[in-house]
Amino acid sequence: MKRIKILRDERRMSQQRLAIELNVTQAMISKYELGLSEPDIATIRRLAEVFGVSADYLLEISDDKTSISSYGLSEAEKNVLFGFKRLDDLQKAKLQAYMQGLLQE
């Protein structure tokens, strides 16, 4: 996970300090950074919290560092966003047109 090292370096954080934050050893942080070991889900969640980034960014699924929780969205708002992502292009266009109509009322 190359991005752990990048984020750690950006914050001028030592491997030892990050290890303390995550309750793991410094050797484990080194293994994560070298790609010799993968963090478990709980550790990925904690890394995202420590660095203020999304898990998708850490996992190199997205280049967007922003975590959706950073926006302070309600569960209903998050469901709308995630539902939108599952729509095809035509469905997205229809929904956007419908929303524009609602907003103009």
Percent of the chain at pLDDT exceeding 90: 65
Do 43 and 87 belong together in one domain? Answer: no
Confidence at residue 71, expressed as pLDDT on a 0 to 100 scale:
66
64 neighbors 56 (Cβ within 8 angstroms)? yes
**CATH code (residue 35):** 1.10.260.40
Read off the pLDDT of each residue in 61-90 and give the average, rounded to a whole number: 80
Say which residue the tokens 């292009």 belong to: 89
The residue range of the domain holding 88 is 73-104
> Is the pLDDT assigned to residue 105 strictly greater than 60?
yes
> Is the pLDDT assigned to residue 68 strictly greater than 80?
no
> Is the pLDDT assigned to residue 63 strictly greater than 70?
yes
Read off the pLDDT of each residue in 22-33 and give the average, rounded to a whole number: 97
Model's pTM, two decimal places?
Answer: 0.65
Task: Give 64's contacts (C-beta < 8 A, 6+ positions apart).
Answer: 54, 56, 57
